[in-house]
Amino acid sequence: MAITKADEALREAEQLWLAGETQRAREGFRRARMLYHEAKDRSGQASALIALGDLEMRMGHHAAAREAFTDARTLLAPGGDQREQGSVLSRLGELAHRTGNLGEARSCYGAARELFHAAGDLSGQAHVLKRLGHLERDEGRQDLALDLYHQALGHYRHVGDSLGEAHALRSLAGLHDLLGQPDQAHQDYDRAIELLHAAGDVLGEASALAGLAHLLRRTRRLAEAAENLEAAARLYGQAGHLRGEADILFELGRLAVARGEREKARGHMTRSAELYGRADAVELRRKALKELDALI
What are the backbone angles phi and psi of residue 2, rounded to the nearest 5°? -70, 140
Which whole-number Å values give the CA distances from 295 to 103, 254, 259, 272, in the listed order? 47, 10, 14, 14
Q: Kindly report the length of the chain.
A: 296
User: pLDDT band at 49, cuts 50/70/90?
Assistant: very high
DSSP state at residue 35: H
pTM of the model: 0.88
Residue-level pLDDT at 276: 93
At residue 157, what is the residue type?
Answer: R
Residue-level pLDDT at 18: 83
pLDDT at 1 over 60: no
Element (H, E) at 112: helix 102-118
Which whole-number Å values give the CA distances from 204 to 40, 55, 210, 277, in the listed order? 34, 17, 10, 24
Q: What confidence tens digit (pLDDT) does each residue in 50-78 have? A: 999 999 999 899 999 999 999 999 999 88
Which whole-number Å values give the CA distances from 171 to 215, 283, 296, in the listed order? 13, 29, 39
